[in-house]
Chains A and B, each alone.
Chain A
């Protein structure tokens, strides 16, 4: 097809603009990666531009020996695995009856759940309720109060509704009850959507922050994000680092950069899988009924 000069100019402009913007999406992380491998003197004298200057592993050695950080990492891994499994289970168990025409309370219950997407409770009554339930300073406070995401539940339900009902009849003739129907037939057919919401939940748990701010006073229970935040803001923790610094080749600038990268690596590692599924999920969730 022939293009006018104007269109060709636009194409050049468009490609340039998008490449530049796309570069800004990844450049901040690359810059911090470079800083984390640079000497503190180079980092503080503004010499580092995307490539490490005076390459050193000291910052990373220190980070990877930091027990407090690993403890927080452990908490996050725990809530990510256990939380994702529990959330998936609760979501699927809730979505399935809501997709069944045989289920008489389908409409009112669905309405009750979707309404919470519009009317969500203010922070304080939510806080007081969770405290009343006895979850203050418990690791379960990071999982249970946010167990089911209505958005994800609607995605799964929409998918279940799309499964042809001939299958049900066949299953029923074979004497298959509703639990087996869900777990042996529906879930087998829903693997892509389960992968999608599983990844949504997992990323959500990995990034858990607000619930930790609200409910955890005990620093031993802090998840990774909370620990990072403390590390960025509290001078004492940084001072403790400076005290033991001695001969080592790092400072708070390089340490902060390294902790940011540390918390990002797992996300980047699962990113290719994430990407495979999330587009589908984001679109499915937006379907109106």
Chain B
């Protein structure tokens, strides 16, 4: 229903645009507002060179790309690279790691800021709220190199975590070298870094809720908990749904920086993800076509998930489009 109206609007806008275009008013427009065209020119050139040309360059996934022949002379091989991938042991492992870590992030990292925002909302003393919030926002601004360094230092054999373990009478553990801990460390460090930042949008949405709703609920005898469950949370749902969709589109893109800075050769078997693998096999070893095929595969999965979940979201709430 909503989508239908939207479609009509888009059609109308399109018609308007082409009508004006056809009336040759485009040239008039350029003449009259040539400064606007001049202003946007550098931006357009930037987007073409660094966004669209690489996007078009993805076609090397269907080639046997050779750097000296270039894009136009390299032979086309159809789906050969993708077929190769399916039988490729490394790819299975990397894909499994990526999907698992992505799933853990979705389950733990996505809801964390929602819960934190609800807890923030229960703090009544403004100065306490502000102070606590500023502490929570800080890690967002640190680079993953720094956070990775912090994690390695704190979890090292002489680090504070092992110091505490020793005090409690446990054996020290080399956390960063053990496969069993890697994904947990990825999730915890991710939550630590981004949980505070993630609350901002939810807090803004909570502020926008009409206070009279709460007043009415109080008169009906709802306590704070019930107000949260029956008013705040339902009214946050559209925000949650939009952020979920934005997230799901990048489902398999875990962020190169984080994994790259936490990974050691000892943990490759559980932590090597698409992006780190593509970097090593593609950028360092020059298997351009194969790794582009992996990248393209990743994008297609992301877009498919976005499309599916957007359809689902449109049925109940609102989608992205």
Q: What is A's interface to B at a CB cutoff of 8 Å?
A: 4, 6-7, 10-11, 14-15, 17-19, 21-26, 28-29, 31-32, 35, 43-46, 48-49, 90, 93-94, 96-98, 100, 102-105, 107-109, 112-113, 116, 118-130, 133, 144-148, 153, 177-179, 182, 203, 206-207, 209-210, 213-214, 225-226, 228-229, 232, 253, 256-257, 259-260, 263-264, 267-268, 271, 274-275, 278-279, 282-283, 286, 288
Q: Return the CB mask of B112-152 against A: 1 if under 8 Å, else 0.
A: 00001001101100001001101111110111111011101
How far does the alpha carbon of A31 sit from the alpha carbon of B153 in the complex, in Å? 10
Contact (A97, B39) CB under 8 Å given A4-B223, A7-B223, A104-B25:
yes
User: Using Cβ atoms and an 8 Å threshold, which residues of chain A touch B181?
Assistant: none
How far does the alpha carbon of A110 sit from the alpha carbon of B299 in the complex, in Å? 22
> Is B123's CB under 8 angstroms from A15's CB?
yes
Is B303 part of the binding interface, using a Cβ–Cβ cutoff of 8 Å?
A: yes
> Is B292's CB under 8 angstroms from A24's CB?
no
A-B pairs, 6 with minimum CB distance: A122-B295, A125-B57, A94-B43, A121-B54, A207-B143, A46-B163
Q: What is B's interface to A at a CB cutoff of 8 Å?
A: 13, 17, 20-21, 25-26, 29-30, 32-33, 35-37, 39-40, 42-44, 46-47, 49-58, 60, 67, 116, 119-120, 122-123, 128, 131-132, 134-139, 141-146, 148-150, 152-154, 156, 158-160, 162-163, 166, 192, 196-197, 200-201, 204, 223-225, 242, 249, 256-257, 260-261, 275, 278-279, 282-283, 288, 291-292, 294-296, 298-299, 303, 306
How far does the alpha carbon of A124 sit from the alpha carbon of B67 in the complex, in Å? 12
> Is B132's CB under 8 angstroms from A18's CB?
yes
Give, as a whole number of angstroms, the nearest-CB distance from A177 to chain B. Answer: 6
Least CB separation from A46: chain B residue: B163
> Is A118's CB under 8 angstroms from B303's CB?
yes
Least CB separation from B297: chain A residue: A122
How far does the alpha carbon of A283 sit from the alpha carbon of B296 in the complex, in Å? 31
Contact (A93, B40) CB under 8 Å given A45-B158, A104-B21, A148-B47:
yes
> Is B51's CB under 8 angstroms from A121's CB?
yes
User: Using Cβ atoms and an 8 Å threshold, which residues of chain B touch A128?
Assistant: 54, 57, 60, 67, 288
> Is A282's CB under 8 angstroms from B201's CB?
yes
How far does the alpha carbon of A19 sit from the alpha carbon of B282 in the complex, in Å? 45
How far does the alpha carbon of A102 sit from the alpha carbon of B275 in the complex, in Å? 43
User: Using Cβ atoms and an 8 Å threshold, which residues of chain B touch A4?
Assistant: 223
Residue pairs across A and B with CB atoms within 8 Å: the count is 261
> Is A123's CB under 8 angstroms from B153's CB?
no
> Is A14's CB under 8 angstroms from B35's CB?
no
> Is A264's CB under 8 angstroms from B142's CB?
yes
> Is A125's CB under 8 angstroms from B54's CB?
yes
> Is A14's CB under 8 angstroms from B135's CB?
no
Most chain A CB atoms below 10 A, which of B47, B143, B162: B143
Least CB separation from A29: chain B residue: B150
Contact (A121, B39) CB under 8 Å given A46-B166, A263-B146:
no
User: Using Cβ atoms and an 8 Å threshold, which residues of chain B touch A96?
Assistant: 36, 39
Give, as a whole number of angstroms, the nearest-CB distance from A65 to chain B. Answer: 20
User: Using Cβ atoms and an 8 Å threshold, which residues of chain A touch B283?
Assistant: 123-124, 127, 214
Least CB separation from B27: chain A residue: A104
Q: Interface on chain A toward B: helix, strand, loop, or mixed SS?
A: helix
Enumerate 16 A-B pairs (CB-CB under 8 Å) in ascending A order.
A4-B223, A28-B150, A93-B40, A96-B36, A118-B303, A125-B58, A125-B60, A125-B295, A129-B49, A148-B46, A178-B33, A228-B145, A256-B153, A264-B146, A278-B137, A286-B242
Least CB separation from A267: chain B residue: B141
Contact (A121, B26) CB under 8 Å given A46-B166, A178-B33, A228-B146:
no
Given A35-B153, A124-B278, A207-B144, 12 further pairs, Cβ under 8 A: A7-B223, A15-B123, A21-B116, A28-B150, A31-B154, A96-B36, A104-B20, A112-B47, A125-B54, A128-B57, A129-B57, A207-B145
How far does the alpha carbon of A225 sit from the alpha carbon of B144 in the complex, in Å? 9
Contact (A271, B143) CB under 8 Å given A97-B40, A260-B150:
no
User: Using Cβ atoms and an 8 Å threshold, which residues of chain B touch A44?
Assistant: 158
